[in-house]
Amino acid sequence: MTTPTYTYPAFQIRYPLGKGFPTSGVRKSQSPTRRPRSSPSTLPREKPEREKERSAVENEYIKNLQQQVYLLELETRYLRSGRSKSGNEDTSFPFQGTDATSACLNGGVPTAPLNTVIKDLKNKYVELQEGYKRQVEKLQETITNLQKQNHTTTLTTESLTQTRDQLLQDLQTLQTNHNTEKDGLYKTIHTLKQDHENLKAEMRRLEISYERCREEKEEGVKEVVGFKMEVERLRGQVEEQVQVHDKLQKKVEELSRDKAFLQAQLETTPPPPPQIPPETLQSLKTQLLTSQTQHQQTETLRLKLQTDCSNLIKLNTELTMEIESLRDELGRERRARGHTGRMEWVKETANVRQEVEDLRDQIGMLKIKIQVGENQKGELVEKLKATETSLSKTLESRTTLSERVQSLQDRLHAQTLDIVSLNQDKSILIDDLATLKNTHTLLQSKYDSLLQKNHSLTVELEAHKQQHADKQKLAKLLKEVEYSGESYLGLMKGVRQVLDKCQKDEQGDADVE
C-alpha cells in the first residue's frame, strides 16, 4: 500500500502574495510576472547572472502561488471538518489521485479563475458530503456487523499491519536517502576544508614571496643609493682630473712659449765660432730633435686627454641624467606601490579572511542542518513506535482506529513537508558550492597577478645588476685614466729636465763666448 502524494495546483488568484500583503506601494515593474518565452534563436544573449535572477524570481512566484493554493485547500479542509463533526466524517485531502492530476495541468500552470475554482470546490464538497453520508450509513451497518463477525476485524488488522510495513519501508528508504545525502554533504564539507587549507597555504606562500620581493626591492634601493654615492665620488675624481688637465695644459702652453722664444733666439743669434767642436753641435741637434719629438708626443697626449676628458664628462652627464630618471621613477613607483599595493593587499587579506569566516559559518550551518535532520529522524522513529502501540489497540473500536489513521496522515504530511525543506536545503548547499567555486577562481586570478608582479620585480633587479656592472666598468676606466695621468706627469717632468739642461748649456755657451 503506497502513500498518496498530494500535488498543489497553481492557479490565478487576485492576491498572489497573500491577502494581507500591500500592493499599493509596489510598482508594476517589480511584480513577478510570467512572460511568454521566445525561441532560443530570437532571445538575446543575456548574462548568466540575469538569467539566474529571473529564474529565482520565477521560482519565488511559483512558490507563492503554491502556498496560496495550499492555504485555500486548508480552508476548505477546515470547513469540511467543522461541518462533518456531527457525522464523524473522514477529513482527508480534497484533491487525491486523478482529481489532483486533473486540477494541475501543464506542470502547475493556472487554467481557471478563482470564482470557477471555488464553484468547483463547492460542487465537489457537496458530492463528497453525500458520498460521506452514504459511507457513514454503510460504516454503521458494518460496525453492527463487526460486533458479530470477528473475521472482518482480523482482515482489518492484517490490512493495518500491511500499511504499517509499508510505512516502515518508506521510512527506511527515507533514512537511506538521508544517509546518502548526509554522506555527500560530509564529502563536500571535507573538500571545502581541503580547498580552504590549500588557499591558506597559497596565501602564506604569496605573503612570503611578497616579503622576499619587498626585501629585494629595498636591496635594490640601497644599491641605487650606493651607485649614487659612487657617481658622486667619480664626479669628484673627474673634476680633479679636469683641474689637473687644466694645470698641465697651462704648463704645456708655457713650455711652447719658451720653445718659441728659444727658437727665435737661436735664429737671431750668429752662428757659433769655429772653436766649437762638431760633436757638440751634433749632440745639440739631437737634443733639439728629441725635444721636438717629446713636444709632439706631449701635444698628442694632451689631445688624447682632452678627448678622454670630454668623453668622461659626457658619460658622467648621461649617467647623472639616467640616475636622476631612475631615482624619480623609483620614487614614483615606491610611492604608488607603497600606497596602492599596501591598500590592495590589506583589502585582499580582509576579503580572504571574510571568505574564510563565511566558509566556517556555512560549515556550522551545515552541521546544524545535519543535526536537525537526525533529530527529525529520531522523531520519526518515535512516531512509528507510537503508531505500533496504536495499532495494537485496533480491536477496541472503529472510531479510535479512524482517529489514529488521521493522526498518521497528519504525521505523514509533516514528514513530506520536512522532506521538501530538506530538498530546499540541498539546493541552498548547491548554490553555496557554486559561490565557493567562484571565490576559488577569484583567488586564482589574484595569484596570477602576484606572479606577474614578481616577474616584473625580477626584471628590474636584472636591470639594476646590469647598471652595477656598467658602473664597475666606468670605475676601471677611471683608474686607467688616473694611470695615464701619472705617466703624463712623469713625461712632463722629463721634458722639464731636458729644457733645464738646454738652458744650462746655452748659459754655459754664452759664458764661454
pLDDT-based confidence at 59, cuts 50/70/90?
confident
The answer on pLDDT for 433 being more than 50 is yes
CA dihedral of 210, 216, 222, 226, whole degrees rounded to 10: -160
Q: How many CB atoms lie within 10 A of CB 85?
A: 9
The whole-angstrom separation of Cα 14 and Cα 81 is: 26
The H or E element containing residue 88 is: none
Among the listed residues 212, 10, 269, 237, the one whose alpha carbon sits nearest the alpha carbon of residue 114: 10
Q: What tens digit of pLDDT does each residue of 210-252 get?
A: 788 778 778 877 877 877 787 787 777 777 777 877 777 777 7
pLDDT-based confidence at 460, cuts 50/70/90?
confident
Q: Which residues contact 439 (CB under 8 A, 6 or more apart)?
A: 355
Q: What tens digit of pLDDT does each residue of 71-87 get?
A: 777 777 777 776 665 44
The answer on pLDDT for 504 being more than 70 is yes
The answer on pLDDT for 7 being more than 50 is no
Alpha helices in 84-150 (DSSP H): 98-103, 114-148
The pTM (predicted TM-score) of the whole model is 0.25
The answer on pLDDT for 95 being more than 50 is no
From residue 407, how far is each of 2, 10, 386, 400, 404 by CA, in Å?
A: 17, 27, 11, 11, 5
- Tell me the domain boundaries of the chain: 1-17+51-84+93-148, 182-269+279-513
The answer on pLDDT for 3 being more than 80 is no
Coil, strand, or helix at residue 275?
A: coil
196-200 average pLDDT score = 82
Top mean-pLDDT range of 167-171, 347-351, 431-435, 501-505: 167-171
Top mean-pLDDT range of 135-139, 215-219, 289-293, 296-300: 215-219
pLDDT of residue 112: 47
Among the listed residues 59, 61, 65, the one whose alpha carbon sits nearest the alpha carbon of residue 104: 65
